[in-house]
Amino acid sequence: DVKVTQSSRYLVKRTGEKVFLECVQDMDHENMFWYRQDPGLGLRLIYFSYDVKMKEKGDIPEGYSVSREKKERFSLILESASTNQTSMYLCASRLGTNYGYTFGSGTRLTVV
Amino acid sequence: GEDVEQSLFLSVREGDSSVINCTYTDSSSTYLYWYKQEPGAGLQLLTYIFSNMDMKQDQRLTVLLNKKDKHLSLRIADTQTGDSAIYFCAEKIGGKLIFGQGTELSVKP
C-alpha cells in the first residue's frame, strides 16, 4: 500500500515563527499536493507539484511556500505563521494525472 | 467557475439508508469522487464515477449522477455506527480535484 506520511500529527507554533510541514510518500508518485481543511469550507488547495523542483499555486497560496527537492518529499512552509493559519493540513500524492489520490493523516497546526 | 456544494450535517438511525447529496457547477469534470474521513484521519477514497455513467453500485454504496442537474449522491444502505464520518464529494477538472465542504454523517444506535 502507498503510504503518505506527515511528520507531525499536532503542532503548536507562535505567531511569526517559520513553520515547516513535511510530507513523504514511498511509492514514487509524480504529483503531490497540500490542502488545508477548515470546518464548513472543505479542502482548499494551497500548492501542488507535478514533478521534482516544480511547484504551482493552488487556490489559496498566500502566506505559504513549498519545496520539492526530492520526488518523495513535499514540504509546506509558513514563512511567518499567523493565527489565521491555524488549521488541519493534509498532504496527498498520486502516481499521475489519471490516478487517484492517497492522503496523509493530516497535521493539526495551532498558531498562538 | 468551479464550485462543489454539500450540506454540512446528516443524522440517521442505525440500519436506515443514508443519502448524501452534492451539487457541482463545472460540467467539464471527468470523474466525480466520494471520500470518507474518520475522526483524526486523512481522506480515504470510497468510490468514484466516470462522468458518462448514471449509476455505480459497490456493496452497500450506490452513487447516482444526474449530469443535467449537476447532482451527485451517495447512498449508504443499512448504515452502521462505523459509517459515522465526514464525507466529501470531489470533482476532477483537468488535473485537479475540487472538494465540497464535507457532510458530517452521524449514525445513532
What pLDDT tens digit does each residue of chain B (109 aa) get? 568 999 899 999 999 999 999 999 888 888 899 999 998 888 999 999 998 899 999 999 999 999 999 999 999 999 999 999 999 999 988 778 889 999 999 999 9
Interchain contact A96–B (C-beta under 8 A):
no
What is d(CA B34, CA B62) in angstroms, rounded to the nearest whole number? 11
Interchain contact A48–B (C-beta under 8 A):
yes
DSSP letter (8 states) at residue B71: E
Chain B partners within 8 Å of A4 (Cβ): 42
Work out the average pLDDT over A32-47: 93
DSSP letter (8 states) at residue B70: T
| Partners of A88 in the β-ladder | A37, A108
pLDDT for the residue A2: 62
Instruction: Of A86, A64, A76, give the one whose Cα is nearest residue A33.
Output: A76
pLDDT for the residue B1: 55
Give A1's pLDDT tier (boundaries 50, 70, 90).
Answer: low
Residues in Cβ contact with A63 at an 8 Å cutoff, skipping those fewer than 6 apart: A78, A79, A80, A82, A85
Closest chain B residue to the Cα of A58, Cα to Cα: B96
Average pLDDT value for chain B: 92
